[in-house]
Chains A and B, each alone.
Chain A
Amino acid sequence: MSVIQVEHLTKDFGHNRGVFDVSFNVEKGEVYGFLGPNGAGKTTTIRHIMGFSRPQAGRTLVNGLSSWENYYEIQKNLGYLPGEIALPDSLTGTQFIKMMADLRKITDMAYTETLIKRFELEPSGGLKRMPLGMKRKLAIVTAFMHDPAVLVLDEPTSGLDPVMQEIFIEFIKTEKKRGKTILLSSHIFSEVDATCDKISIIKDGRLVSSFIADDLRHSKTKTFKIEFNSKTEFERFQSHSNMEKTQIPYEIASVKEQRNQANIHIDDKDINEFIELISGYRLKFFSEIKFTLEDYFMRFYDKERKTNNLKGDKIINAVN
Chain B
Amino acid sequence: MFNKTILVHTFKSNYKLWLIFTAALSVMGVLVISTFDPIMMNSVMETLSGVFGDSLGSRMSVLTLNGTLARSFYGMLAVVLPVIFVVLTANGLIASQVDKGSMAYTLSTPIKRRTVAATKGAYLITAVLCMFLVVSLVGLAAVQVTQGSVFGDAYTADVKTVSEAFGWDKATVAGNLNMILDNPEAVAVGAGARRINEDVYRVYLQQKIGGGSSQSTLTPGEAAEYQQKFLAGITAAADVLDTDVAGLMSDLAKIKNNARALEAAATAASLVPDETLALAPNEGAALEMQKAAFVGVINAQLASKHLVLDESLNFSVQDFLMMNFGAFLLIFAVSGISFFCSCLFNSANNSLALGAGIPVAFYLLQMMSGFGEGLGFLKYFSLNTLYDPSAIASGGSFGIQFLVLGIIGVVLFVLAVKVFKEKDLPL
CB distance from B139 to the nearest CB of A (A): 31
In contact, A100 and B105 (Cβ under 8 angstroms): yes
B407 within 8 A of partner (CB): no
**Chain A, residue nearest B425 (CB):** A52
CB distance from B7 to the nearest CB of A (A): 11
With A50-B427, A52-B427 given, is the CB distance from A104 to B110 under 8 Å?
A: yes
Picked from B5, B13, B97, the residue with its CB within 8 Å of the CB of A102 is: B5
In contact, A100 and B109 (Cβ under 8 angstroms): yes
B349 within 8 A of partner (CB): no
With A52-B107, A54-B424, A103-B5 given, is the CB distance from A86 to B112 under 8 Å?
A: no
Q: Which residues of B sit under 8 angstroms from A142, Cβ to Cβ? A: 105
Q: Which residues of A sit under 8 angstroms from B105, Cβ to Cβ? A: 82, 87-88, 96, 100, 139, 142
In contact, A72 and B102 (Cβ under 8 angstroms): no
B260 within 8 A of partner (CB): no
A84 within 8 A of partner (CB): yes
Most buried by B among A47, A85, A87, A103: A103
Q: Which residues of B sit under 8 angstroms from A182, Cβ to Cβ? A: none
In contact, A47 and B112 (Cβ under 8 angstroms): no
B106 within 8 A of partner (CB): yes
Q: Mark B18-30, 1 if CB is under 8 A from A, else 0.
A: 0000000000000
Picked from A47, A87, A96, the residue with its CB within 8 Å of the CB of B425 is: A47
Segment 340-377 of B: residues with Cβ below 8 Å from A: none
A73 within 8 A of partner (CB): yes
A149 within 8 A of partner (CB): no
**Chain B, residue nearest A85 (CB):** B101
Q: Which residues of A sit under 8 angstroms from B422, Cβ to Cβ? A: 54
In contact, A78 and B112 (Cβ under 8 angstroms): no
A272 to B180, CA, bound (A): 128
Segment 223-264 of A: residues with Cβ below 8 Å from B: none
Picked from B102, B108, B425, the residue with its CB within 8 Å of the CB of A75 is: B108
Q: Which residues of B sit under 8 angstroms from A52, Cβ to Cβ? A: 104, 107, 424-427
A99 within 8 A of partner (CB): yes
In contact, A90 and B424 (Cβ under 8 angstroms): no
In contact, B110 and A84 (Cβ under 8 angstroms): no
CB distance from B217 to the nearest CB of A (A): 74
CB distance from A186 to the nearest CB of B (A): 18
Number of B positions contacting A (CB below 8 A): 25
In contact, B424 and A53 (Cβ under 8 angstroms): yes
In contact, B13 and A75 (Cβ under 8 angstroms): no
A143 within 8 A of partner (CB): yes
Q: Which residues of A sit under 8 angstroms from B111, Cβ to Cβ? A: 72, 75, 103
Q: Mark B73-98, 1 if CB is under 8 A from A, else 0.
A: 00000000000000000000000010
In contact, A72 and B9 (Cβ under 8 angstroms): no
A85 to B425, CA, bound (A): 16
**Chain B, residue nearest A55 (CB):** B424
In contact, A82 and B13 (Cβ under 8 angstroms): no
B59 within 8 A of partner (CB): no
B195 within 8 A of partner (CB): no
Q: Mark B148-184, 1 if CB is under 8 A from A, else 0.
A: 0000000000000000000000000000000000000
Q: Which residues of B sit under 8 angstroms from A78, Cβ to Cβ? A: 108
In contact, B106 and A90 (Cβ under 8 angstroms): no
A76 within 8 A of partner (CB): yes
A103 to B108, CA, bound (A): 9
CB distance from B105 to the nearest CB of A (A): 6
A80 within 8 A of partner (CB): yes
B6 within 8 A of partner (CB): yes
8 inter-chain pairs at a CB distance below 8 angstroms, sorted by A residue, are: A52-B425, A72-B112, A73-B110, A78-B108, A80-B104, A82-B105, A87-B105, A100-B109
Given contact pairs A86-B102, A103-B6, A104-B110, enumerate 4 new A-B contacts (beta carbons under 8 Å).
A47-B424, A50-B108, A52-B425, A54-B422
Complex A-B, nearest 3 residue pairs according to Cβ-Cβ distance, in ascending order: A86-B101, A102-B5, A103-B109
Chain A interface residues toward B at CB < 8 A: 47, 50, 52-54, 71-73, 75-76, 78-80, 82, 84-88, 90-91, 96, 99-100, 102-104, 139, 142-143
